[in-house]
Amino acid sequence: MTDLNKKVAVGISGGVDSSVAAYLLIKAGYEVEGIFMKNWEEDDSEECNSKEDFNDAQRVCEHLGIKLHQVNFSDEYWENVFEHFIADIKRGFTPNPDVFCNKEIKFKQFYNYALSLGFDLIATGHYAKRIDSVNIQLHIPKDKIKDQTYFLYTMNNKVLRKTIFPLENLEKSEVKSIAKNMKLGLEEKKESMGICFIGKRNFSSFIDEYIKPVEGPIIDYKSNKKISYHKGLSKYTIGQRKGINIGGLKHRSDSAWYVIDKNMVTNTLVVSQDQSPLYYQGEIELENINIINEECDYKKIKVRFRHGGALRSCELKKVTNKYSITLNEEERGIAQGQAAVFYNGTECIGGGTVISKCLRKN
């Protein structure tokens, strides 16, 4: 960590990671204050109880002897994250709201709010690493399992240069140990998993509140024959196995069925018991590209399509204003709307959104 003697705003969620991040910054000699962000107005889920989280955040800041600010970004979240999320699902995409939340809320609204209060820098409890060089760089942290750079590829140089990741050189087990020594009782607090505005509710039921489910045919990929009916395309994603509810078909094995494709025009779900069409290698068109390090060698990069997913060799190409990658290795179940995030060694150099269908040709 650098930039000592500067005023730092830490995003405090009331959880272990952000609490330890604040503690480490104080210990390093920074002038620290916390900012608690409320990003969702409805609060009817046990998993995402903002009142409980705010109380925990207050307790942490009181224990650390620092001031806590509270700000409500619910309107900004709705307009820039949630509405985007719903619009992409209507397109048949599989969006990742965590990526949008980091871009629009944590490293835009939070960043601007902190600077408006007179802070010099911001900090979060993300597992990521910043390396200062001629070009500021975002890297995979020490804890490669907890690595969150996949969700941070939309960061720009200006914000990254003013961001500190205090957990960059720690394993999760070390963070929990520090939290235990802080004696706040947070080390056993469950991490928020999945999409916070859904909480513990069933994803399908939640989406039904915003996208009216329309029943349609399920088509067998090989025979092109109708074998059943689906309950609304928004309930399915490419590569999905569970929840398709196909069974008892004559002259068919009991093998699992997989979602191969979704046709939004005809409201058709395409499935197969053969997974081979899901394994794709070749060109993939992207949109909303963000490159953190413009000096990177595009011919030596690797890409991953999901958090914790395998890194695949590829080449990034730009023709006019359109970007695409040529995937040199097979990857299973690439869905439109997924983030394709680029790496050069441990450096996360940027990424984009998959917009082309990725099915192996027969």
Task: Specify the long-range contacts of residues 226-232, CB closer than 8 Å, at least 24 apart.
Answer: 227/271, 230/269, 231/204, 232/208
**DSSP assignment of 203-225:** HHHHHHTTS----EEEEETTT--
Starting at the edge strand that comes first in sequence, how are the strands of the sheet with 258-263 ordered? 226-230, 216-220, 268-272, 258-263
Asked if residues 81 and 97 have their Cβ atoms less than 8 Å apart, the reply is yes
Q: Which residues contact 255 (CB under 8 A, 6 or more apart)?
A: 273
Least Cα distance to 288 among 334, 331, 321, 327 occurs for 321
**DSSP assignment of 269-318:** EEEES--GGGEE-SEEEEEEEEES-TTS-GGGEEEESSTTPPPEEEEEEE
Catalytic residue among 48, 61, 101, 348: 101
- The single-letter DSSP state of residue 256 is P
101 part of the active site: yes
Catalytic residue among 61, 196, 296, 358: 196
Q: Establish how many alpha carbons lie within 13 A of residue 273's alpha carbon, considering only the half-sphere containing its beta carbon.
A: 12
- 163, containing H or E segment: strand 163-164
Supply the residues annotated as catalytic. Answer: 101, 196
